[in-house]
Structure 1
Amino acid sequence: MTEQKSSTQQNHPSIRYDTMGWKLFLIYDIFMMVIIIINLFCIVANAFLLSNFAAWLFDFIHLSQILSYYKEHLVPWVNLTESWFIIFLIVELGIRWFIAIIQKHHARWFFFPFVHWYEVLAIIPYLRFLRLIRAGVIAFRLQELGYIVIPPKLIKRFNFYYHLVMEELSDRVVITVLDGVKKELDTSSTHKQIIHDLVDHHRDMFAQTLADILQETLATELKAQQQVIADSVGDVVVKAIEDTPELTQLLKLIPIAGGMIESRLHAIGHRLGENVTIGLMQPFVTGSVQKPNSSYQLIAEKLSQLNINNQSLEQLVESVVYESLESMRKQVAVKQWQLELKKNDQLKE
C-alpha cells in the first residue's frame, strides 16, 4: 500500500499528502462513505421489514410481536433520521458548492451541480439509490490513493464481467450492422453503384499506394538485378550475332583479320546490349519511397482510372467486399472473455 501511495504522489506532485488539510479531507471522505452505506442499509432494511414477505416470515418464526414493535416505535425514528440525513446532504452540498465557487474549481460557478448531478438527484427520496454512486466515487478515489477499500480480486472479477457484458453488447451491435450491410448488398439493386462509389472514392489513395509499392519493391529489385539483366541481354545479343550465318560467312571472306573482327564484334554487341538495357531500366530505378519517380506515378494513375464496368472486375470487387465483411464477422464473433477465462483456468492448473 505504501508503494501505491508513493506512485500516486508521483502522479500528482502538486498535491501534498502530509498536510493537515489533506488528512481532514481524507477522514471526511471516509466518514461520508460510511454514513451513506449505513443510511442505504437502513433504508433497505426498513423496506424489507415493512413488506408482506417480512410479515409472513416473522409470523412463520413466531416473532410477529418484534415486527409489530419495530413498526410502532422504530419506523418513525427511521423516517425522521432519513429526513435529517436529507437536510444534512442539502447543507453539505451547498457548503461544497460555496467552497468550489471560492476556490474556482470549475470554469463557471453554476457548473458544480451538473458535475455532481448524481449527488443532487440523490437528495430526492425516490432516487436515493444514486447515493451509491457517490460512495463508489469515494471508494475509487481512496483506491487510487493506495487505501484498499475493495479487495483486488473483487475488482478484477468486476472488470472481467464488465468487459464481458460490454463485449457481448458491442459484438451484437457490430454483427447486426455487418449482417445488415450484407443483406443490403444481396437484396438491393443499387449495391453495384455503392461499390462503384467506394472504388471511385479511393482511386487517388489506390494510385498513391500502388506508386509507393512499385517504387519500394520493383525499383529496388530492378536496381539490385540491373547488372545481371544487362549481362543477360548482352549474352542474347552475342548469341544473335553468332546465329546470323550471313555475318559469319562475310567475316570469313576477310583474311587474317576476320577472326579478330568477329571477336571484337561479339564484345561490342555484348557491351551494346548492356548499355541499352541499363538505359531502358534507368527511368525505373530512380526515385524514392517518399517521392516515386514519374514512370511509376504514371502507371499507378492509369491503373487507378480503370473502368470497373466489367463483369469479371465487378465480381472481383464484390468478392473482396463480401469476404471482408465475413472476415470482420468472424473476428467479432471471437469471444475474448472466453479466451481470458481459459487462460486463467490454465494458470490455476
Structure 2
Amino acid sequence: MTEQAATKKKTFRPDNHNTLGWKLFLVYDIFMMGIIVFNLFCLCANLFLMSSFGKLFFDEIHLPEVLAFYKSDLHPWVIKTEGWFILFLVAELSIRWLVAIVYKHHQRWFFFPFIHWYEVLAIIPYLRFLRLIRAGIIAYRLHELGYKVIPDNIMKKVLFYYRVVMEELSDRVVVSVIDGIKYELDNSSSHKKIIHDLVDHHRDMFAQALAEILQEALATELKAQQRLIADNVGHIVKQAIEDTPQLTQLLRLIPIAGGMIENQIQSIGQRLGENITNGLIDPLTEGTATQPNQIYTLISDKVSHLNIENKALEELVESAVYESLESLRKQVKIKQWQIELEQYDQSKD
C-alpha cells in the first residue's frame, strides 16, 4: 500500500474518536444494527402471526379480529418493507464495496465480498438469519470501544458459548485427522516410507539441535570440571611412575642424586598428564550455543545421518510417532470449556 493510499485510508477511518468522521461512523453502525434487529423482529413476528400456532394463540386469547386486521392490512406492508430493505442492503453493500476499492481497504478489489460473505448471503431471503452476524459484529465492536450495547454478563455468556462451539468443532476435526493418520500408519504398506521421509526431513534440524545441546551441556561441564580432571590425570600419571618398581630400583642405583631424579620424574609426569588433559579438553570447550565447534558439529552430523534401516531403530521411531499422536489426541480431547465451567461453579460455591 502506497503512502498516499495509507493516508487516504486513515482519513476515511479516523483513529481519533473525537473527529466528526468517527462520530458519523459510530452513528451509522448504531443505525444499521438497529434496523437489522428491527427487520428481523418484524420477520419473526410475521412468521408467528401467519402460522397456525399464531391463529391458535389469538383464538385462545379471544382476539381473532386483531390477527385478521394484521393479515389484511399490515402483512402486505411487511412484505413490501422486506423487499425495500433487501434493495437497501444491496445498495449499501455496493457503496461500501466501491468505497473499499477507492480507499484500497484490501489488497485486491474483489476481496470485499469474500471477507463480508455473511452480508452477501444475508441478502438472500432464505438466509436472512445471517444478518444477525453483522448486528453481532457491530455490537461487539461498539462493546470494545466502551459502549455497553450488550450487558457484560450476556457478553460473557455469548463469548463462552462461542468458544464452546468453536472448540467442539475444531476438536472433532483434529481428532478425525489424527485418527486418519493412525489408520494410514496401521494399514498402509507405505507407512515405513512416511516415517523415513519424516526422519529424513528433520535430519538437519536434529543435527543442529544435537550440536547445540552438546555445546551447551557437555562443553560447559567440561570447562567447569577441566581443572579437576587435569589434576586427577596428573595424580594418576604420578602414581603410575611411583608404582613402577623397575624405575625406582634403577634410580636408587645412582648415589645421592637418585632420589632427586625420581621426584623430578614424578613431578614432570604429573605436569605432563595435566597438560595433555588440558590439550584434549580445550578443543571441546570452544564455540558457542549458536555456533558449536567443529567437533560437536561433526559428531551431530554423523549421528543424524545414521541409517534407520534397523528393526530396533524403526520400532523406536514408530513408537515415538504413535505416542506423539496419542498424546496430541488426549490433549485435544480435554474440554477447556468444561474446566472453565467447573472453575466458575466452584467460585460461586
TM-score by length of structure 2 reads 0.85
**Which residue number in structure 2 is paired with residue 194 of structure 1?**
194
**Which residue number in structure 2 is paired with residue 217 of structure 1?**
217
Matched, 1:250 2:250: yes
Name the CA shift for 1:152/1:46 in 2 (closer, same or farther; >3 Å).
same
Unaligned 5+ runs, structure 2:
1-11
Instruction: Letter of the 1:54 partner, please give it.
Output: G
Q: How many angstroms apart in 1 are the aligned matches of 2:275 and 2:111?
A: 78
State whether residues 211 and 292 of structure 2, in contact with CA within 8 Å, keep that contact through their aligned partners in structure 1: yes
Matched, 1:233 2:233: yes
Bigger shift: residues 126-135 or 169-178: 126-135
Shift of 1:229: 0.8
Name the CA shift for 1:213/1:65 in 2 (closer, same or farther; >3 Å).
same
Relative CO higher for 1 or 2, CA cutoff 8 Å, sep ≥ 6? 1
Shift of 1:150: 0.8
Name the CA shift for 1:158/1:202 in 2 (closer, same or farther; >3 Å).
same
Matched, 1:42 2:42: yes
Secondary structure of the 1:291 match is coil
Superposed CA offset, 1:299-330 (max 9, x none) = 11221221111222122212211211121112
**Which residue number in structure 2 is paired with residue 128 of structure 1?**
128
Shift of 1:271: 0.8
Secondary structure of the 2:155 match is helix
State whether residues 13 and 21 of structure 2, in contact with CA within 8 Å, keep that contact through their aligned partners in structure 1: no
Tell me the percent identity. 66
> After the TM superposition, which residues 150-299 of structure 1 pair with which residues of structure 2 at under 5 Å, given as runs?
150-299=150-299
Shift of 1:335: 1.3
Instruction: Letter of the 1:143 partner, please give it.
Output: H
**Which residue number in structure 2 is paired with residue 82 of structure 1?**
82
Name the CA shift for 1:158/1:237 in 2 (closer, same or farther; >3 Å).
same
Name the CA shift for 1:252/1:305 in 2 (closer, same or farther; >3 Å).
same
Superposed CA offset, 1:269-311 (max 9, x none) = 1111111111222221222222222211221122122111122
Superposed CA offset, 1:193-237 (max 9, x none) = 222222122222222221111111111111111111111111111
Q: How many residues align?
A: 338
Q: How many angstroms apart in 1 are the aligned matches of 2:221 and 2:36?
A: 73
State whether residues 13 and 22 of structure 2, in contact with CA within 8 Å, keep that contact through their aligned partners in structure 1: no
Name the CA shift for 1:122/1:181 in 2 (closer, same or farther; >3 Å).
closer
TM-score by length of structure 1 reads 0.85
Instruction: Letter of the 2:179 partner, please give it.
Output: D
Matched, 1:341 2:348: no
**Which residue number in structure 1 is paired with residue 319 of structure 2?**
319
Shift of 1:73: 3.0
Name the CA shift for 1:239/1:109 in 2 (closer, same or farther; >3 Å).
closer
Bigger shift: residues 211-220 or 55-64: 55-64
**Which residue number in structure 1 is paired with residue 305 of structure 2?**
305
Secondary structure of the 1:149 match is coil
Shift of 1:122: 4.0
Name the CA shift for 1:133/1:336 in 2 (closer, same or farther; >3 Å).
closer
Instruction: Letter of the 1:128 partner, please give it.
Output: R
**Superposition RMSD in Å:** 2.9
**Which residue number in structure 2 is paired with residue 4 of structure 1?**
none
Secondary structure of the 1:225 match is helix
Q: How many angstroms apart in 2 are the aligned matches of 1:248 and 1:257?
A: 13
**Which residue number in structure 2 is paired with residue 6 of structure 1?**
none
Q: How many angstroms apart in 1 are the aligned matches of 2:335 and 2:313?
A: 36
